[in-house]
A and B are shown apart, each in its own frame.
Chain A
Amino acid sequence: MSGQVASIISEIKTIASNVLERDIQEVRGFSERQVEAIAKQTAIIKKGVENGEIDDDLREFFLDGLEAMTLNFVNTLKGILAVTIEKLWNALIKFIYKAVGAVT
C-alpha cells in the first residue's frame, strides 16, 4: 500500500514538473520581452515629449496606451496561467483515474 502511494506521488511529481517546466520557460521568455519592450516604449515617449515631436494629444494617447498594455500584459500572464492549470489538472485527472482503475 505505502509502495503504491509512493509510486503515485512520484508519478504526480513527474507529470506536474513536465507541464510546469515547459510552460514556465515560455512564460519567462514572454515576460522578459514585454518588460524590455514596455521600458523601451517609455523611453521613446519621453524622448518625443522632450524634443516636442509628441504633442499633448499624442502624449495623452501614448500614456493611456502604456497603462493599457501593462494591464493587458498581466492579463495575458493570467490567461496563460489558466491554460497551464488546465493542462496540469487534466494530465493529473487522467493519471489518477488510470491509477484508481489499476488498483481496483
Chain B
Amino acid sequence: MKALSSPLFYLWLLSFLFFSSCQVTLAPAYDQAIVDKVTVNSELAMRFFAQVDGGTESDTFTLREPIYNQLIGSFESLKLQAKARPVPENAALDKINALLASKGTSPIAGDYPSAFAFDQIAATFAKMKNTDKTQGLKPVVLEAFKGQIEIYLDQAITYEGFLKR
C-alpha cells in the first residue's frame, strides 16, 4: 500500500502498461447460461436437503435415486461447460506472474476453480447416494455432506459471478 503513494510507482506503472500491450483478458468469459444452471441446481440441491432433513433409511433409497441422478448429471455437465471456455494465455499474464514470482508470490490462476467445485459437488452427491443406498444417512453424516456441497457451491457461484466484468 505504501508503494501506491509513490510517484515513481505510477511512472513505472505508466511505462509498463504503455509498452506491454493494450487491453488484456486474464480470466475466462462470463457465461450467463452457467450462472443460470448453477442457480437452478443449487436450489434443487437445497430443496433435496430439506426433504431428507433428519436422516434417511436405506429401504426408501429408490424414492430418492432419481434426484441423486439428476443432481450428479447436472453438476457433471456444469463442470464440462465451465471447462469448455478457453483460458486466456498471453504475454501480459506471463509478465504479471513473473512479477509476482519475483516478489515471492505464487502465480495467479490460469485454471477454473468453479469447474473443480462442480466436479467435487458431483462426486459428493455420488458418495452420498452410495452411502444412502447401503446404510442410510445419519443426521451428522447428512450435515457433513450438506456442508461440503455448500462450501463448493459458494466457491463456484462467487467465482462465476466475479467473471461478469
The reply to whether the CB of B72 lies closer than 8 angstroms to some CB of chain A is no
The reply to whether the CB of B27 lies closer than 8 angstroms to some CB of chain A is yes
Q: Are A37 and B26 interface neighbours, CB within 8 A?
A: no
Q: Please, which residues of chain A bring their CB within 8 A of the CB of B110?
A: 82
From the candidates A45, A75, A90, name the one contacting B111 in the complex (CB within 8 A).
Answer: A75
Give the size category of B's interface with A: 35 or more
In angstroms, how far is the closest chain A Cβ from the Cβ of B99? 10
> Which stretch in B32-40, B61-69, B134-142 binds the other chain?
B134-142
Q: A interface vs B, CB < 8 Å?
A: 5, 8-9, 12-13, 16, 26, 30, 33-34, 37-38, 40-41, 44-45, 47-48, 51, 53-54, 58, 61-62, 65, 68-69, 72-73, 75-76, 78-83, 85-87, 89-90, 92-94, 96-97, 100
Q: Please, which residues of chain B bring their CB within 8 A of the CB of A8?
A: 10, 14
Q: Are A85 and B96 interface neighbours, CB within 8 A?
A: yes
Q: Are A61 and B96 interface neighbours, CB within 8 A?
A: no
Query: Complex: how many Å from CA A9 to CA B117?
Result: 41
Query: Complex: how many Å from CA A51 to CA B139?
Result: 11
Q: Please, which residues of chain B bring their CB within 8 A of the CB of A47?
A: 140
Query: Complex: how many Å from CA A59 to CA B46?
Result: 23
Q: A8-B14, A93-B17, A96-B17 are in contact. Are A79 and B113 (CB under 8 A)?
A: yes
User: Considering residues A5, A41, A62, A69, which has the most beta carbons from chain B within 10 angstroms of its beta carbon?
Assistant: A69
Query: Complex: how many Å from CA A5 to CA B21?
Result: 21
Query: Complex: how many Å from CA A79 to CA B116?
Result: 12
Query: Complex: how many Å from CA A80 to CA B112?
Result: 11
8 closest Cβ pairs, A-B complex = A48-B140, A78-B109, A86-B26, A76-B113, A53-B138, A41-B147, A82-B108, A75-B113
From the candidates A26, A62, A81, A89, name the one contacting B144 in the complex (CB within 8 A).
Answer: A62
The reply to whether the CB of B165 lies closer than 8 angstroms to some CB of chain A is yes
User: Considering residues B18, B140, B152, B154, which has the most beta carbons from chain A within 10 angstroms of its beta carbon?
Assistant: B140
In angstroms, how far is the closest chain A Cβ from the Cβ of B101? 14
